[in-house]
């Protein structure tokens, strides 16, 4: 991603009008997994609707003070970034990009921004990642280290 493109990246609070978009980001994040199943007509969409609603409700219930932001690139919605800023850590609840915006340095730039914010406040950055998620390699390159395993998920931390 070019320096100019990074200038065009903004975060804004998600609104009820973003719900369909956020559901599409969720669906894109599950596509590879769900493509392995032969779904009857309409079943995949129903499954995604139920799962998205459950995840969204749980994220908001467990993190009432978190920022739930839409990532925009040059005014186009590109993904979501949910962060809970606690007294000791910035916890990345979720960072997801639509496929067209992956692999261009956007996720890296957002995470580096969180690392800089955390370093200025003397806090860590933490996140959880599925062991098979390709983004795990990015987190490792950015200095995140495993601190706890939860079966198929691992909690990672970055310390200033």
Q: What's the CATH superfamily of 3-158?
A: Gcn5-related N-acetyltransferase (GNAT) (3.40.630.30)
Measured from the Cβ of residue 52, the count of other Cβ atoms closer than 10 Å reads 18
Distance CA(105)–CA(153), nearest Å, equals 24
First to last CA, the chain: 25
Q: Are strands 124-130 and 145-150 parallel, antiparallel or unpaired?
A: unpaired
Task: Identify the H or E element spanning 54.
Answer: helix 43-62
Residues 6+ apart with CB under 8 A from 3: none
pTM: 0.92
* pLDDT in single tens digits along all 160 residues of the chain: 444 445 689 999 999 999 999 999 999 998 888 888 888 889 989 999 999 999 999 999 999 999 999 999 999 999 999 999 999 999 999 999 999 999 889 999 999 999 999 999 999 999 999 888 888 999 999 999 999 999 889 999 999 9
* Domain boundaries along the sequence of the chain: 3-158
User: In 3D, which of 138, 130, 126 has the Cα closest to residue 85?
Assistant: 126
Are 23 and 52 spatial neighbours (Cβ–Cβ below 8 Å)? yes
DSSP-derived secondary structure letter, 17: G
Please state, in angstroms and as integers, the Cα–Cα distance from residue 122 to each residue in 88, 97, 128, 139, following that order: 8, 28, 20, 19
């Amino acid at each position: 991603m070019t320096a100019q493109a990074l200038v065009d990246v903004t975060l804004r609070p998600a609104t009820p009008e973003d719900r369909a978009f956020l559901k599409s980001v969720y669906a894109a994040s599950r596509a590879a997994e769900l493509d392995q199943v032969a779904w009857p007509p309409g079943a995949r969409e129903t499954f995604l609707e139920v799962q998205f609603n459950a995840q969204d409700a749980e994220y908001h219930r467990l993190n009432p003070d978190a920022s739930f932001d839409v990532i925009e690139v040059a005014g186009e919605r590109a993904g979501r970034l949910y962060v809970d800023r606690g007294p000791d850590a910035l916890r990345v609840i979720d960072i997801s990009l639509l496929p067209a915006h992956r692999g261009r340095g956007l996720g890296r730039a957002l995470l580096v921004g969180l690392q800089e914010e955390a370093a200025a406040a003397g806090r860590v950055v933490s996140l959880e990642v599925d062991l098979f998620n390709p983004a795990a390699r990015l987190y490792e390159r950015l200095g995140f280290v495993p601190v706890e395993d939860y079966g198929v998920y691992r909690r990672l931390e970055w310390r200033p």
